[in-house]
Amino acid sequence: MTQFSLNGHTTSVDAPPMTRLIDVLREQLRLTGTKEGCGEGECGACTVLIDGLPVNACMIPVVQAEGTQILTVEGLAEDERLHPIQTAFINYGAAQCGICTPGFVVAAKALLDAQPNPSRTEVREALAGNLCRCTGYQKIIDAVVEALGGQP
Amino acid sequence: MNPVGIDIPRADGPSKVRGDAQYVDDIRPAGCLYGATVRSPIAHGKLLGIQKDPDFDWSDITVVTCLDIPAQNVVLLMTEDQPALADGVVRHVEEPVALVAASSPARARAAVAHIKVLVEALPAVLDPLTAQNNPIQIFGTDNVFKQISIHKGDKTDDGVIVEGTYTVGHQEQLYIEPQGMIAVPRADDGLTLIGSMQCPFYIVKAIAPMLGHGRINVIQATTGGGFGGKEEYPSMLAAHCALLSIKTGAPVKMIYQRDEDLRATTKRHPSVIKIRSVVSPQGELLQWDAEIIMDGGAYNTLTPVVLSRALLHLCGPYRCPRQHLEGVAVATHTPPNGAFRGFGAPQAMYAVERHMDAIARTIGMDPVAFRRLNLIRDGDTTPTGQALVDTGAHLVLDVALKAAEAEVKTPAIHPGGGVGRYARGRGVALVFHGCGFTGNGEARIKGKVAVELQDRCVQILTASTDIGQGVDTTFPQIAAAALGIGVSRVSNAPHDTAMVPDSGPTVASPTCMVVGGVLRTAALKLKAALQAETGLDTDDFDTLLDARTHTMALRVMAEYQDDGSMDWDDATYSGDAYPCYGWACSVVDLDVDLDTGEVLYRRYVSATDVGKAINPVIVEGQLEGGAIQGLGYATCEEVVLDDQGRMINDRLTNYIIPTTLDAPEMITRIIEIPYSGGPFGAKGIGEIPMDGPAPAVASAIEAAVGVVLNRLPMTPERVLSALEIKERS
Ligand code: FES
Ligand code: FES
């Protein structure tokens, strides 16, 4: 049994220790907001926060999550109220096909918590582990800069 | 407020930012099995069979080969050449040979690893330049998928002659969501297919001959990017899931892993283009001869259409009295190439714009001044003899250059920091793009759209899928504007072929322009039907609804109407090739790292004629997303094949697409030269942003370091070796 806090709720799962965290989230817990784009730590579609830091859930064996606090995209909105990053993504058209979006908003959340007023360059650096093939990144960066209180 | 032309937030935005949107891999029918594919290890060979490892536990595994196919072994598209599973012969590496189903994806992959494909290697043709009429036959008797010639005017040699050869490689669409499909058995012995796709009706047509019946419906799941890559290939997955589902009697899901997706699925066609031009000493184009050889891979797919579009753009947005264009698409023993945003035009535009730079260099003229002198203008004709109206080449050029006068604000992110090791350059490229299908394509396809009044809301029924480009948002905008109601009262129905009429495929970006036009007609028909029903002739939709004596649903359908304005002859390739054209100019500022040859983008400016921006934010998103794919095509996206034609850099670690650190700041200017045949003037805009970046980058590299690169991609290695050659000489 592995135990962790998932989006604020204590959760235990029964999975072999080397099971990828992404499979536990998606297949066992049916939280499918975390996406798989490559399965090898390159695209960031599977980004979740472990103790506030962005990680690729496809690269983490579940055993490493023991005792941690995990945040997935499903834990961002409070009830019906979207997180400001999510609202900004909608307003700026930063989600097109949307497959990369959960990873981006989660990574942006980590940046927001660590650095309330980042420059555009800092936003670019913080999101460099997340690939998007649809937007050209401009609208994503605009959305994140705005959500974090800056001027896009 | 008229909902056309304003930024309505995307209809699918909330579900996507919450992570609720259901992509194919998020859907798990009860009792679902998982499929995987056994593939050819070689480029060409006699297929003797498969051998199952006797030491592996096969008790819970189902295996399917071509012997299990109920009717015809074909995945039907333009021709019947591509089998669902190889039978007797393999024609490209990674060709599907057998399928397995198991209770988990890991079990299915383990089973695949324990199946050996027995093949006897035959000599293979991998080089497209030796494919035509090669005694080793791949397609037909001459290995030619399609050959086209276009001629306008006579010939002359009186002037300055400039010749060049331009080579472009494969490019992978690299949608972030890999290909995926689910087949679910139906009570009537038919199948429901749910998947990641652009064209649900393609799948119905593609696999009905294989099944021997038409009891299929296809539903698009939320689709994580397509860019053409989910135009024809999903039919193959659908065929495979269907075969496994029939044999097991259970739902079967197949999701490709990234490396498999890269190795096995379609790519942009590699091409070799030769141009020979004659110009007057003052710089007027007198003659333009161009020829393209395009590598289609082992099966036809949509290659003839891609060749056609390439050829029709192989002259650029320039006037010239003598234009002679030749194109041939050949078969090789490599995985089939197929649809990809731009559809042949990016290859052509790269060569054309490089050649324009070459002429300017030869005659000592400024490249922009040389282009300006030769711009195509109203009344000029294209190579097929189409007289153009409402040309916008000069306008996009002016607007882009003006926008580029602004200072570049954000510094490039230099990995080493500092200046001194970098050379700076700017490049300009000018492109055009024919909108919609070639010639009489629309009239042939006859796209249909239905709208249905339900209560006080309207549902749109169309097969035009939202693959991220936003039609689930823009279509309601178009219908709401036509009906004079708020956009929140209109929505797109789910794209299920059992429910919606065939609107034609979501390809070549005609969705908004052509299908949107049919939609507008359907909406107006709905209003007319309500007027007839109520006997009122008011235009006010709510007054009409209030006057109804019942609330029964009301459905009307409209079909694409050929207005007869297009005069096109497919046999001679002459006449009106496209209903209208879009125009775009790219200005790129970049630094070349003199130590590594790496190109660092600083800023990308574009001005693009879109006809009418139904939703400006969505349009900008299309333009910027296309631009970054074009910048990737320019410098980093390279497909490397081994001696069997297998892609060896089949990972995101070695097939590199731009990240936030590579992407430049963008200035995106929208120009609106309305097209009278499009809804509110809109033209297709999905493809044109792909055309300009690569030639603009080549031009900027030339300006920065004085080397001429005529091969895509312009990787650091190629830039560096060109720099070394230049230094030595
Ligand atoms: S799926 Fe985890 S990084 Fe791509
Ligand atoms: S929105 Fe499609 S990959 Fe980012």
Provide the ipTM: 0.97
> Which pLDDT belongs to residue B440?
64
In this structure, what DSSP letter does residue B127 have? -
Q: How many CB pairs under 8 A join A and B?
A: 177
Measure CA of the first residue to CA of the last residue in chain A; give whole Å: 46
| For residues A85-106, average pLDDT | 96
Strands B62-64 and B285-295, bridge-based pairing: unpaired
Q: Residue B96 in contact with residue B63, Cβ under 8 Å?
A: no
B118 interface with A at CB cutoff 8 Å: no
Res. A85: pLDDT tops 60: yes
Q: What type of residue is A19?
A: T
Backbone phi, then psi, for B88, in 5-degree steps? 85, -30
Question: Helices A84-91 and A101-114: crossing angle, nearest 10°?
Answer: 130
Kindly list the averaged pLDDT for each block of 10 residues, start to end, along chain B of length 729.
Answer: 82 94 97 98 98 98 98 96 98 98 97 98 98 97 97 96 98 98 96 95 96 96 96 97 98 98 98 98 97 98 95 97 98 97 96 98 97 97 95 97 91 57 94 83 74 92 82 89 92 89 64 80 92 93 93 89 81 90 97 93 96 90 97 97 98 96 96 85 86 98 97 97 92
Query: Is the CB of A35 less than 8 angstroms away from the CB of B177?
Result: yes
Q: Report which ligand 1 atom has the smallest distance to the Cα of A56.
A: 2
Q: Check pocket membership of A128 for ligand 1, CB cut-off 6 A.
A: no
Tokens 């490689």 — which residue?
Answer: B169
Q: What does each C-alpha distance from B89 to B228, B272, B582 come to in angstroms? A: 28, 29, 44
Q: Residue A93 in contact with residue B468, Cβ under 8 Å?
A: no
Query: Is the CB of A82 less than 8 angstroms away from the CB of B7?
Result: no
Q: How far is A93 from chain B (nearest CA, A)?
A: 6
| For residues A16-38, average pLDDT | 97
**Cα B657 from Cα B572, distance rounded (Å):** 40
Closest CB from B19, B470, B663 relative to A137: B663
Q: Which residue of B has its CA nearest to A88?
A: B17
Q: Report which ligand 2 atom has the smallest distance to the Cα of B225.
A: 2
Find residues 362-421 of chain B whose CB sits inside 8 Å of chain A. 410, 413
**Cα A121 from Cα A129, distance rounded (Å):** 14
Q: Residue A26 in contact with residue A13, Cβ under 8 Å?
A: no
B656 interface with A at CB cutoff 8 Å: no
Helix (H, G, I), strand (E, B) or coil at B241: helix
**Cα A130 from Cα B722, distance rounded (Å):** 32
Buried b (16+ CB within 10 A) or exposed e, B168-201: bbbbbbbbbbbbbbbbbbeeeebbbbbbbbbbbb
**Cα B666 from Cα A124, distance rounded (Å):** 14
Higher pLDDT, B207 or A121: B207
Q: How far is A74 from chain B (nearest CA, A)?
A: 6
For chain A, which domains are there? 2-74 (3.10.20.30), 84-147 (1.10.150.120)
> Which pLDDT belongs to residue B539?
92
Closest CA to B516 of B314, B303, B684, B285: B684
Closest CA to B349 of B716, B633, B668, B720: B633
Q: Check pocket membership of A46 for ligand 1, CB cut-off 6 A.
A: yes
Sheet-wide strand order for B45-52? B89-90, B45-52, B115-121
Q: Residue B468 in contact with residue B11, Cβ under 8 Å?
A: no
A132 interface with B at CB cutoff 8 Å: yes
> Which pLDDT belongs to residue B1?
63
**B590 Cα to the center of ligand 2, angstroms:** 25
Task: Determine the longest span between alpha carbons in chain B, in angstroms.
Answer: 87
Buried b (16+ CB within 10 A) or exposed e, B648-657: ebbbbeebbb
Q: Report which ligand 1 atom has the smallest distance to the Cα of A38.
A: 4
| For residues A5-30, average pLDDT | 97
Closest CB from A36, A99, A130 relative to B225: A99
Q: What does each C-alpha distance from A2 to A11, A12, A34, A54, A56 come to in angstroms? A: 8, 5, 19, 20, 18
Res. A134: pLDDT tops 70: yes
Q: Check pocket membership of A100 for ligand 1, CB cut-off 6 A.
A: no
Sorted by sequence, the CB contacts under 8 Å of residue A126 that are 6+ apart come out as A107, A108, A110, A111, A115, A118
Closest CB from B468, B626, B657 relative to A131: B657
Please report which ligand is nearest the Cα atom of B629: 2
Tokens 């000018």 — which residue?
Answer: B430
Find residues 665-704 of chain B whose CB sits inside 8 Å of chain A. 665-666, 668
For chain B, which domains are there? 24-122+179-255 (3.90.1170.50), 271-438+573-728 (3.30.365.10), 441-559 (3.30.365.10)
What is the best residue among B16, B176, B618, B629 to mutate for testing ligand 2's pocket, by most ligand atoms within 8 Å of CB? B176
B176 interface with A at CB cutoff 8 Å: yes
Q: Residue B394 in contact with residue B556, Cβ under 8 Å?
A: no
> Which pLDDT belongs to residue A145?
92
> Using H for helix, E for strand and C for coil, what is the string for B643-670?
CCCCECCCCCCCCCCCCCCCCCEEEEEE
Q: Residue B668 in contact with residue B692, Cβ under 8 Å?
A: no
**Cα B590 from Cα B603, distance rounded (Å):** 7
